[in-house]
Amino acid sequence: METERVVADRAIPLLQTLVRNACVNTGAEDSGEETRSIEAIRGFLSEFDIESSILYARPDRANLVARIPGRDPLQPTLAFMGHVDVVPADASEWSRDPFGGEVIDGEVWGRGTLDMLGMVATSVAAFTVIAESEPPPGDVLLIVVSDEEAGGAFGARFLTEQHPDLVKCDYMVTEVGGMYLTEGHIPGLTLTVGEKGICWARMRFHGTPGHGSMPYRADNAVVKASKAAEALSEYQAKPELTPIIRDMADAFMSDRLSRFLARLPGTFDLALSRLYTRNPGRAKFLHTAARTSISPNVLTTGGKVNIVPASAELEVDIRLLPGQGVEHAQRMLREAIGDSDEEVDIEFFEFYPSTLSELETPLKRATERILADILPNTRIVPMFIGGVTDGRYWRQRGTVVYGFAANTAELTMDRFSEMIHGTDERIPVSCLERNLEYLTRLPYELGSDAAGHLGERVSARVHAE
Ligand SMILES: [Zn+2]
């Protein structure tokens, strides 16, 4: 069946249903109500005689897993994974109904079309095509989850912790990737190989209470906390120019001088500020990918206008590089505020390490072979991102996870960044078509490359036993 027909008959109608269900995740436990979209996907799959399991973290927040068995149990398992919840949308700022799912001039409109209902709909459609075709070499899994936008407690985290065997896989394709870059000799498509770690700290500053009418030499906790906030915002960790960061810088910068400056740690930040004047979004993206970042975001203090406060709390969002833990964050915070001991208490209330998949894998090679065919003259640009996705839960368990989609030049990185979580979010039908082709062919291409990899894996297992 040809690609255009599958997209028109399967992917787009399903995408419209997912958009119209408006599974808006506000972060409240009872928001999202993704069970509606999960049921819709189960119904859709059953039309193709594909069975699926629904796993409930809560009755209103379900997750779906389906499997197409492969021919050879020694071949790797490949998963397509995506989430059906979306972030809120303010209809008054949109040119169209954010939950209308309209198709206008070759684009499907609506909240979530890019993040990531378009990818979910193409993954489900590709899954039905694979199920109708000859059995793939290895198992293909379809995993659709709730609650990505609030951290995955009812979705990816629930599945990987409560049903690890059901969702175990060797390779996974998910968000965030496939952003089209036009700089350089050959256009590039981003492929996310890793994400920074999350580390959230609460810093408590102590002062001495006193009367607000007599501030002379007061020991004021508000002043201490705000000085610390300023010091933290000025603190710049050194850039770590790994090969991935160098590739990203090359692909993001259009002039030779900037590219040259970006190759050296001493001049990297100069290149970054040149990039900022031309493209601030991309500069922010590269800045955070290259170093540990610190952002002081919540200040809670004071009680009464005429009292010098005895304490103040500052909450800080720290994003870590691979291998860094809470101790690293602790050292960095103290260094940034110039404090060596007991002036401040630091408590960490959230931590998830950075995750990074290998870049040279059968999955990347299979992706390149398919791209050469469906989007010729497009190279892969590896990316390391500052935010987190559900992919981390699998990466952390050893799965090679890539954020990727075979999008076309109609979806440049700048358009993508502007619309994601923004207004007038929409996806070109051409992206759905190329991505459907990519996903449909991937299990077969991967199988033709993975034999060597699995040989190594099997022999490693034999050695271990
Ligand atoms: Zn997303």
146 CA to centre of ligand 1 in angstroms: 11
86 CA to centre of ligand 1 in angstroms: 7
Q: Nearest 5°: phi and psi at 292?
A: -70, 135
Render pLDDT for 157-172 as a digit per residue (tens, 0 to 9).
Answer: 999 999 999 999 999 9
Distances from the Cα of 338 to the Cαs of 151, 343, 406, 443, in angstroms?
33, 10, 47, 53
187 CA to centre of ligand 1 in angstroms: 24
Render pLDDT for 413-423 as a digit per residue (tens, 0 to 9).
Answer: 999 988 988 99
Query: How far apart are the C-alpha atoms of 459 and 303, rounded to whole Å?
Result: 65
CA dihedral (89, 279, 406, 401) positive or negative: negative
Q: What is the pTM of this model?
A: 0.92
Nearest to 405 by CA among 426, 365, 436, 376: 436
Per-residue tokens: 453: 């990899």
Which residue type sits at 90?
D
Helix (H) or strand (E) holding 108: strand 107-109
152 CA to centre of ligand 1 in angstroms: 11
342 CA to centre of ligand 1 in angstroms: 40
242 CA to centre of ligand 1 in angstroms: 26
Q: Please name the fold of domain 196-352.
A: Alpha-Beta Plaits (3.30.70)
60 CA to centre of ligand 1 in angstroms: 19
177 CA to centre of ligand 1 in angstroms: 10
209 CA to centre of ligand 1 in angstroms: 46
Question: Are the CB atoms for 126 and 439 separated by under 8 Å?
Answer: yes
What residues does each domain of the chain span? 3-192+355-464, 196-352
453 CA to centre of ligand 1 in angstroms: 30
213 CA to centre of ligand 1 in angstroms: 51
Question: Given its phi and psi angles, is residue 312 left (phi above 0), alpha (psi -120 to 50 degrees) or beta?
Answer: beta
CA dihedral (162, 163, 169, 171) positive or negative: negative
- CB-CB neighbours of 79 under 10 Å: 23
396 CA to centre of ligand 1 in angstroms: 18
174 CA to centre of ligand 1 in angstroms: 9
Question: Are the CB atoms for 390 and 174 separated by under 8 Å?
Answer: yes
349 CA to centre of ligand 1 in angstroms: 24
427 CA to centre of ligand 1 in angstroms: 14
173 CA to centre of ligand 1 in angstroms: 13
Domain 3-192+355-464 indexed as CATH 3.40.630.10: yes
389 CA to centre of ligand 1 in angstroms: 7
149 CA to centre of ligand 1 in angstroms: 7
Digit-by-digit pLDDT tens for the chain (465 residues) are: 699 999 999 999 999 999 999 999 999 999 999 999 999 999 999 999 999 999 999 999 999 999 999 999 999 999 999 999 999 999 999 999 999 999 999 999 999 999 999 999 999 999 999 999 999 999 999 999 999 999 999 999 999 999 999 999 999 999 999 999 987 678 999 999 999 999 999 999 999 999 999 999 999 999 999 999 999 999 999 999 999 999 999 999 988 999 999 999 999 999 999 999 999 989 999 999 999 999 999 999 878 999 999 999 999 999 999 999 999 999 999 999 986 556 799 999 999 999 999 999 999 999 999 999 999 999 999 999 999 999 999 999 999 999 999 999 999 999 998 898 899 999 999 999 999 999 999 999 998 875 545 544 444 444 433
Which residues does residue 421 pair with via DSSP β-bridges, in sequence order?
Answer: none
83 CA to centre of ligand 1 in angstroms: 7
